Amino acid sequence: MEVQEVLKLADDIIFSQTGKHLDNLQEGILRGTWQRQKYPEIAKTCYRSEAHVKKVASKLWKLLSETLGEDINQSNFRYTVERWQLSIVSSHFGDNAQVGKFKVCGNNPESLETPNLKKQNQETSSKTQPKQRLDLSDTPEPNLFYNRTSELTTLNGLSGIGKTALTLQLIPEIQHEFDYIIYRSLRNCPTLKTLQTNLIKFVSQQQEIELPSLIEHLRSSRCLIILDDLQTIFTPRQLAGHYQPGYENYGTFFKQLAESSHNSCLILLSWEKPREIAALEGENRPCKSLQLNGLGAEAGEIFREKRLAEEEKWSQLIDLYRGNPLWLNIIATMIQDLFGGSVSEFLSYDTLFLGDLESLLHQQCDRLSESEKQVISWLASEAEPVEISKISANLELSPSALLQAVQSLGRRLLIEKVKQGEKTLFTLQPVFIEYVKNQFLKVG
Ligand SMILES: Nc1ncnc2c1ncn2[C@@H]1O[C@H](COP(=O)(O)OP(=O)(O)OP(=O)(O)O)[C@@H](O)[C@H]1O
Ligand SMILES: [Mg+2]
């Protein structure tokens, strides 16, 4: 986009909102910002003091942000304009069109139009010039964190379900929206200080001044930070989501990122959902949680690749192993090694074979508290899903200890909830039933 087009666009937006055109200084600010100048440079070019330029700029960003419904500032103005095509949504396409709202459209705006609309647009644009007018009001809401500022997303799910794979898949699709994308695994339990120093080092490498704190970097640039394997900073053998001693400040940090204004996004990948996230998430809040469940029929591709036979039985396998791609890979290898690829032979045994899965399940179950172990041991002996009151009647746990244990197992996604009319029942996945029978009951 040429700077003149940008100025024309901004002028249209401001005019629609205030009835006034951009003045020289406002134009100078936008022109300078587009050309990646900082305020001191813009001030020189416009023959004004830096303080005055900053004051006018701040009002201008505020106005643009309010009109566009998104945080716009000096550091994100250019890529926001590049990323977005702004369109005026109105019921008519005539010259007297009223400005309704501005909406985001994808990289290829034409692909979002209906054929009728496209025709209407062509007619309109041949008369007027050269503004693009699209009705995008039916565009579905963007997924996950697309086109949102200041967002924190937790992706939690069992080991092997595909959290890391999904996130890595997402990066190429969204990378143009960010100045920096940083992926860090917390596998080696870095302290918050170590992590922050490391992140600041990365984001400040191309900047003139090093800002004092990470949050200020997250304000001045649009960063996507992905923190994987978050569960390693939680204490094992306690209820889910308790930070290890010395790591509690991570909770404060996440809360700060969720509550303060900045232009960046944080994605947390974890087996356990952090407890403060539950209190911060909500429909209109900047904190979201996505529980990653297994694959459906498409998991058959894993079996195809492993050359398993009897395709008609594959869905049974996918269901038993709840579509967990890692588990399905392990099981498919076992079926190939032991049964020459015959799924029916594998399924003909009464027990569910775990094989190499056992050590993976052990890593997860080893993190459980004593009360959680009691609950899943008892659940493993029940053939059908049960109500909490029934669990309570059979275990020597106080009501509050039992509720906490069930809630915590839910946060680890180790128990399944089943709705039966008004009632909520609880059960274990078949794989965990088998594991628990082999382990806890054997020991007990
Ligand atoms: N959609 C998918 N289709 C096929 N294979 C997949 C898919 N998603 C993940 N996998 C494979 O499943 C395995 C586990 O995925 P991944 O490592 O992303 O799980 P994870 O949830 O991050 O596990 P952990 O919490 O233990 O790190 C990997 O080998 C990955 O390639
Ligand atoms: Mg992972």
Dihedral sign computed on CA atoms, order 198, 204, 206, 209 = negative
What's the pLDDT at 382?
Answer: 92
Which amino acid is located at 268 in the chain?
Answer: L
- Helix (H) or strand (E) holding 180, with range, is strand 180-185
What's the pLDDT at 81?
Answer: 78
pLDDT in tens, 373-406: 999 999 999 989 999 999 999 999 999 999 999 9
**CB environment 2-38: b (16+ within 10 A), e (fewer):** eeeebbebbbbbbeeeeeeebeebbbbbbbbbbeebe
* Distance, CA of 17 to CA of 4 (rounded, Å): 20
Give percent of the chain above pLDDT 90: 47
| Domains 151-291 and 361-443 in one fold | no
Q: Give 43 Cα–ligand 1 centroid separation in angstroms.
A: 52
* Distance, CA of 351 to CA of 353 (rounded, Å): 6
* Distance, CA of 285 to CA of 292 (rounded, Å): 20
Q: Which residues contact 215 (CB under 8 A, 6 or more apart)?
A: 256, 257, 260, 262
DSSP H helical segments within 214-356, as ranges? Answer: 214-220, 249-259, 275-280, 300-305, 314-320, 325-339, 343-347
The pLDDT of residue 2 is above 50 = yes
What's the pLDDT at 354?
Answer: 92
Question: Rg of the Cα trace of the chain?
Answer: 27
Instruction: Report the pLDDT averaged over residues 7-15.
Output: 85
Q: Which residues contact 269 (CB under 8 A, 6 or more apart)?
A: 154, 155, 156, 163, 164, 167, 226, 227, 228, 229, 230
Q: Which of 158, 168, 171, 326 to mutate to test the pocket of ligand 1 (most atoms within 8 A of CB)?
A: 326
Fold of 361-443: Arc Repressor Mutant, subunit A (1.10.10)
Closest ligand 1 atom number to CA of residue 324:
12
Class at the top of the CATH hierarchy for domain 151-291: alpha beta
Of the given ranges (170-184, 250-264, 386-400, 415-429), which has the lowest mean pLDDT? 170-184
Q: Tokens 């094989």 identify what position?
A: 355
Instruction: Report the pLDDT averaged over residues 427-442.
Output: 86
Quote the tokens at residue 266: 């944080």
- Helix (H) or strand (E) holding 357, with range, is helix 357-365
Domain ranges of the chain: 3-127, 151-291, 297-353, 361-443
Instruction: Report the pLDDT averaged over residues 346-352.
Output: 89
For the chain, give the number of residues. 444
Cα 431 to Cα 299, 340, 415: the distances in Å are 17, 22, 11
Q: Crossing angle of helices 50-68/3-18, nearest 10°?
A: 70
In sequence order, what DSSP letters do the residues of 13-82 get, joined into one string? HHHHHHS----HHHHHHHHHHHTT--HHHHHHHHTS-HHHHHHHHHHHHHHHHHHHTS---TTTHHHHHH
What's the pLDDT at 160?
Answer: 92
To the nearest 5 percent, what fractions of the chain are helix, strand and coil?
Answer: 50, 10, 40
What's the pLDDT at 122?
Answer: 34
Of the given ranges (205-209, 299-303, 310-314, 347-351), which has the lowest mean pLDDT? 205-209
pLDDT in tens, 245-300: 999 999 999 998 888 888 899 999 999 988 888 788 877 777 888 889 899 998 99
What's the pLDDT at 103?
Answer: 25
* Distance, CA of 182 to CA of 115 (rounded, Å): 40
* Distance, CA of 290 to CA of 398 (rounded, Å): 31
Q: Which of 164, 167, 333 to mutate to test the pocket of ligand 1 (most atoms within 8 A of CB)?
A: 164
SS3 295: coil
- 0.85 surpassed by pTM: no
Strands 151-156 and 265-270: parallel
Instruction: Report the pLDDT averaged over residues 203-212.
Output: 72
The pLDDT of residue 45 is above 90 = no
Q: Tokens 């591709």 identify what position?
A: 301
What's the pLDDT at 266?
Answer: 93
**CB environment 305-334: b (16+ within 10 A), e (fewer):** ebebbbeebbeebbebbbbbbbbbbbbbeb
Closest ligand by atom to 160 CA: 1
The pLDDT of residue 114 is above 70 = no
What's the pLDDT at 203?
Answer: 85
Q: Mean pLDDT for the chain? A: 80
What's the pLDDT at 146?
Answer: 28
- Given a contact cutoff of 8 angstroms between Cβ atoms, the answer to whether 250 and 243 are in contact is yes
Q: Give 189 Cα–ligand 2 centroid separation in angstroms.
A: 15
Q: Which of 161, 230, 303, 366 to mutate to test the pocket of ligand 1 (most atoms within 8 A of CB)?
A: 161
